[in-house]
Amino acid sequence: MDWYPLLNSLRIAAISSVTVFFLGICAAYYIARIPRFLKGILDVILTLPLVLPPTVVGYLLLRVLGPKRFFGAWFFEVFGVKLTMQWWSAIFATTVVIFPLMYRTARGAFESFDETLEHAGKTLGLSNSFIFWRIRMPYCKQGIIAGIVLSFARALGEYGATSMICGYTPGRTATVSTTVYQLWRTNDDGLAIKWVLVNVAISATVLLAVNMLERRKRTESTAVA
Amino acid sequence: MGLIADFEKTIGKFKLDIHLATGDDSLSLLGASGCGKSMTLKCIAGIERPDKGRIELNGVTLFDSEKGIDLPPQERRVGYLFQEGALFPNMTILDNVICGIREKLPRREKEKTAREMLAKMHISDTERRRPDSLSGGQQQRAALARILVGKPEILLLDEPFSALDAHLRFELERVVSEAIRDIGKPAIFVSHNRDEAYRITDRIAIMNNGSIEIEGDRHSIFADPQTVYAARMTGCKNLASVDYGQGDGSFVSGSEDKRTVPLSAARVRVPAWGMELEVPNTSKTRSAGMPEGITAIGIRMHDIRLGPAERNQFVCKVEEEIENPFSYTVMLRPAGPTEGTECLGMELDKPTWESARAETITIHIPPENVLLLRE
């Protein structure tokens, strides 16, 4: 059994999760601070990929990154590299698809933050970055970790947008999800079921992790009360 | 020196309009919840930004809307004690206190300073613990330690006892009072509790609906609160609007006529209690008339006396007696030519009332005990 699709899926999911960790947290932090009207609009735009069909996301990405499209063509001209049909092209797709998950969980976590702690930190003379990384983030840790884990799991299972933007080339752009589709198409049931089991095992582990995190969060908050 | 704050801030329909100066003295801001006390402290600390105005602390301008100065809270050197301590939950008590040290020092020296302060607050045994395992009183002590190690130029105390159980309050109040005295800097103490305010600071400002209604020495504020609201905030329970005496036996309603009404002896009629009262002969009434704008009077419950007297004597029907732990509150309805709509409350210690208890009693109200109030 060739493990390339698993390796590829894992690295795509890992890179996009890390990217989304920073982007999602920045967005959640700053959007909480802007006027309500603008916040409402941005909130809708940033959450949209969560409910759009992944094929729509894939289509929109191709409209921008495709070799004959505006950004893709410019990039090819300058760097000589196509943005689609590479293994890493999938990162664009997964990043867009999982962004809302991270953004919304981070926002929920930040909303539960007691702003008095920030005020206290400021009057004590602590820098804003100290307050953010040493007080706010630890306070919201559980929610944010749950967000990353969920995002990672979703990135691992991404199919629609991924297959549109990087297709299926064995040993190059194949991921677990595109491989399962390919094996089903070619009636290779034996191998297909193996990949299905691998996928189920990973996803189950991730969900278990999320549940455990949430349980810990609950017991901690009841300990406080 | 001290704090000078003149600023305005509008939030929706609420308008905060503050003019205060502490000098070297500490000041209590006394007011009902929602009157803008906490918002005032937050503006001084830089957590909230006033719309316009100026804030100066010991000669340093913290905020000046005209010059475009708005120091971040980090540089204002204010010690802000919050209602519930606001200790960082992910850190030990020792680390929390270390956060308050402003100088750049080696970790070891910071630890030493923090430990000394914890010892001063009598909570050395908590240094390795997390805030949520401490009692409310210990948390406030730790929060105070965290503030004091930063050597603030002013202490802002935002109802620091209100989240505590009654038995811990008094204890922590002593700790806070001592801290104010020790650091020798002014403090602004925000409270809705008149007793705390009276004990903690010499000066009291009474805040109503976004601005300071009256301000002064605590004795004079309690002796002459001047306004109905201030009388209520200083704990005066018997309040009623008055009609002025015209001198010829007729009366003019205070709310209708705000002119100075000349008359030989200052007398007012209180329709709510069905009473006619002689009022104090102070500077306010010395010019043979009621001062402008007086529309109401207040009588503190413990200022009503049992027994007959030449002036302001009333026979009253006892409507109700309420037993307190160490006293009685007796609700009285004066028997007179007109029936009042409200009762007058009188507070008596237990033995006194137990020996005087009757269905109808005679009381008197010394004229000097009547508070003259405007709206």
The residue range of the domain holding B142 is: 3-223
Closest approach of A141 to chain B, Cα-based (Å): 10
What ipTM score was computed for the predicted complex, to two decimals? 0.83
Task: Supply B18's token pair.
Answer: 């503050």
Closest approach of B184 to chain A, Cα-based (Å): 19
CA distance B285 to B245: 12
Domain harbouring B95, CATH code: 3.40.50.300
In chain A, which residue's Cα lies nearest the Cα of B83? A116
Name the domain count of chain B.
2
Question: For the residues A41-47, what does the mean pLDDT come to?
Answer: 91
Question: For the residues B161-168, what does the mean pLDDT come to?
Answer: 87
In chain B, which residue's Cα lies nearest the Cα of A137? B90
Q: Evaluate whether residue B233 is within a structural domain.
A: no
Same domain, B130 and B169: yes
Same domain, B200 and B258: no
- Asked if the Cβ–Cβ distance from A139 to B82 is below 8 Å, we say no
Same domain, B73 and B184: yes
pLDDT in tens, B87-108: 999 999 999 999 999 999 999 9
Domain boundaries, chain A: 4-224
This prediction's pTM: 0.81
CB B180, CB B187: distance < 8 Å: yes
Q: Evaluate whether residue B231 is within a structural domain.
A: no
Same domain, B92 and B168: yes
Q: Which of B251, B249, B242, B366 is nearest to B313 (CA)?
A: B366
Query: CB B53: neighbour CB atoms within 10 A?
Result: 19
Q: Evaluate whether residue B229 is within a structural domain.
A: no
By Cβ distance, the residue of B46, B82, B99 closest to A126 is: B99
In chain B, which residue's Cα lies nearest the Cα of A118? B86
Q: What is the pLDDT of residue B288?
A: 45
Task: Supply A166's token pair.
Answer: 């990087």
- The CATH-assigned architecture of domain A4-224 is Orthogonal Bundle (1.10)
Q: CA–CA distance from B341 to each of B240, B271, B272, B296, B335 (Å)?
A: 11, 8, 5, 16, 12
Task: Supply B175's token pair.
Answer: 């700790």
B256 pLDDT above the threshold of 90: no
Chain B residues within an 8 Å CB radius of A123 = 45-47, 73-74, 76, 78-80
Question: For the residues A182-208, what does the mean pLDDT come to?
Answer: 90
- Asked if the Cβ–Cβ distance from B132 to A121 is below 8 Å, we say no
Pairing relationship of beta strands B154-158 and B187-191 according to DSSP bridges: parallel
Q: Evaluate whether residue B138 is within a structural domain.
A: yes
By Cβ distance, the residue of A120, A125, A127 closest to B86 is: A120
Q: B132 CB near a chain A CB, below 8 Å?
A: yes
Same domain, B149 and B258: no
Closest approach of B177 to chain A, Cα-based (Å): 21
Closest approach of A35 to chain B, Cα-based (Å): 15
B262 pLDDT above the threshold of 70: no
Pick B340 or B283 by higher pLDDT. Answer: B340
With cut-offs at 50, 70 and 90, classify the pLDDT of residue B263. very low
Question: For the residues A116-121, what does the mean pLDDT come to?
Answer: 95
- Asked if the Cβ–Cβ distance from B80 to A119 is below 8 Å, we say yes
CB A180, CB A188: distance < 8 Å: no
Same domain, B153 and B182: yes
- CB-based contacts of B287, cutoff 8 Å, min separation 6: B260
Chain A residues within an 8 Å CB radius of B88 = 117, 120-121, 134-135
Same domain, B273 and B367: yes
Same domain, B30 and B157: yes
Closest approach of B218 to chain A, Cα-based (Å): 29
Same domain, B172 and B264: no
Q: What is the DSSP string of B277-324?
A: EE---STTTTTTEEPTTEEEEEE-GGG-EES--SSSEEEEEEEEEEE-
CA distance B148 to B78: 10
User: Which spans in chain A are helix H?
Assistant: 4-31, 36-51, 54-65, 70-79, 89-111, 115-123, 128-130, 137-157, 160-166, 176-185, 189-224
Same domain, B169 and B276: no
Q: What is the pLDDT of residue B87?
A: 95
